[in-house]
Amino acid sequence: MTSPIDPAPRSATAPAVAVGLAPAPKTDRPAVTPGRVGRGRRSGRGRGQLIGWLFAAPALLFYAVFVLRPLVLTVQYSFYDWNGIGAAKSVGFGNYVKVFTDPDLSQSILHAFVLIIFFSLIPVALGLLVAAAIRSVATSKLGAVARVVLFLPQVIPLVAAGIIWSWLLASDGLINQLLDLVGLGGVTRAWLGDFSTALPAVGIIGAWVLVGLCTLLLSAGMSKIDPSLYEAARMDGAGAIREFFTITVPGLRQEIGVCVTVTVIAALASFDIVYIATQGGPGNRTMVPGLQIFYLAFSEREIGLASALAVVLVLLVLLVVVPLQWFTREDGS
């Protein structure tokens, strides 16, 4: 008999062995099941196969029709010069060349990467620091309240976050009021309308949405780190900083990976916040690929160009996310 832990999928035609069954796991769901042993007691094995596919069919059908087909079509459209109504003209890789050479389009990709600093780097870094600092109070009553409060930005639509912050960052808004209060009246401005501050201002909105999520995720991850590790570090005379880098950060590898993945996707595929807060302006200063695709396809009727940018966006996300997954899952199990 094979090892009881066998993550490799086995077909239902595997020999039916119903002896030595592992005990049922308790309520907590382990990532790897302990008992993948007795299988295939079903009478008709071929029928089991068919039934399996029948069960998966609706999900696969919806996925194929509403995700895979459009995805293939996006790739197809990306080689066309097409306004969506008349005849499509094939232009080879022309649209892709334009995506990388037209300053407006390549800028929008660049902006998405700038947003990674705000959507991803700041929330993850801040989340790590805060999670480390609140370790001792995370289980307190205050911690319980914080769990609810810090999730609020996750619960409201991103559009609402955009509206809230458009007002906070407006020339009469709270941010400027606070700046005036502390004697920084000289720097006040309409943050989202200023060429030099619009993109960081959009970034701040994303940071606000995501910092609570990261903090709570990392904090939950920290509660799983063996406390004796910290005690041992203390005994060895490690300070808080040393402790942070030798125990906390390595122990949170998986959670950090999750936070980075989620937030990077949020940055690269940002749409809602930018659409509401700046509509890509002033000028093109906050134009991001998601919004650019929307404008190109539905206002300018440049279906081919929009699709090429969409393909590039999908590839960018994969390019960032796949290595991240590989990196964090490597010794995860």
Partner 1 sequence: MITSRREALIGRVLLVVLMLVTVVPFVTLFVTALHPSGTYPSGLSWPDDPQWGNFVTAFTSARMGALLWSSTLIVLGVVPLALIFGTMAGFAFGQIRMKGGRVAFLLLVLGLTLPFEGIITPLYFQMRDFGLLNTRWAIILPLIGLFMPFSVLWMRAHFVSVPKDLSEAASIDGAGIWQLFWRVHAPLARPALSSLAILLFLWTWNQFLLAIVLVDQPDKRTMAGALGAFQGQWGTDIPLLCAGSLLIMTPTVIIFVIFQRQFVAALLQGSVKG
Q: Which residues in the 296-315 window bind partner 1 by CB under 8 A?
A: 297-298, 303, 306-307, 310-311, 313-314
Both tokens assigned to 213: 């999520």
Nearest to 110 by CA among 120, 100, 96, 121: 100
Is the CB of 74 or the CB of 197 nearer to partner 1? 74
Enter the tokens of residue 8. Answer: 């490799």
The nearest distance, CB 222 to partner 1, in angstroms, is 12
Is the distance from CB of 273 to CB of 161 less than 8 angstroms? Answer: yes
Q: Which of 240, 300, 326, 330 binds partner 1 (CB under 8 A)?
A: 240
Minimum distance of partner 1 from residue 153's CB (angstroms): 6
> Which string of b and e fits 72-81 if b means at least 16 CB within 10 Å?
eebeebbbbb
Is the previous residue joined to 70 through a cis bond, with omega within 30 degrees of 0?
no
How far apart are alpha carbons 125 and 120 in whole angstroms?
Answer: 8
Question: Cα–Cα distance between 15 and 28 in angstroms, integer?
Answer: 29
Q: Can residue 290 be called a binding residue for partner 1 (CB under 8 A)?
A: yes
Say if residues 210 and 263 touch (Cβ distance below 8 Å): yes
Nearer to partner 1, 51 or 97 (CB): 51
CB of 172 to partner 1, least distance (A): 5
Q: Which of residues 257-286 bind partner 1 (CB under 8 A)?
A: 258-259, 261-262, 265, 268-269, 271-272, 275-276
Supply the minimum distance, in Å, between the C-beta of residue 93 and partner 1.
Answer: 18
Interface with partner 1 in residues 100-159 (CB under 8 A): 130, 133-138, 142-143, 145-159
Q: Show contacts with partner 1 in window 195-214 (CB under 8 A).
A: 208, 211-213
Residue 195 CB, nearest distance to partner 1 (Å)? Answer: 21
* Binding test (CB under 8 A) with partner 1, winner from 91, 98, 201, 255: 255
Say how far apart CA 69 and CA 56 lie, in whole Å.
Answer: 18
Minimum gap (Å) between residue 37 Cβ and partner 1:
7
Whether the Cβ atoms of residue 297 and residue 185 lie closer than 8 Å to each other: no
Residues 20-79 binding partner 1 (CB under 8 A) are 21-22, 24-25, 29-31, 33, 35-39, 41-42, 48-49, 51-53, 55-56, 58-60, 62-71, 73-74, 77
CB of 12 to partner 1, least distance (A): 6
Q: How far does the chain reach from its first CA to its final CA, in angstroms?
A: 23
If one asks whether residue 184 binds partner 1 (CB under 8 A), the answer comes out as no
Find the binding residues for partner 1 in span 216-235 (CB under 8 A).
216-217, 220
- Please give the Cα distance from 280 to 322 (Å, whole number): 28
Give the E-state strand segments of 38-147 in sequence order: 80-81, 89-90
The Cα–Cα gap between 309 and 292 comes to 8
Decide whether 172 or 331 has the Cβ nearer to partner 1. Answer: 172
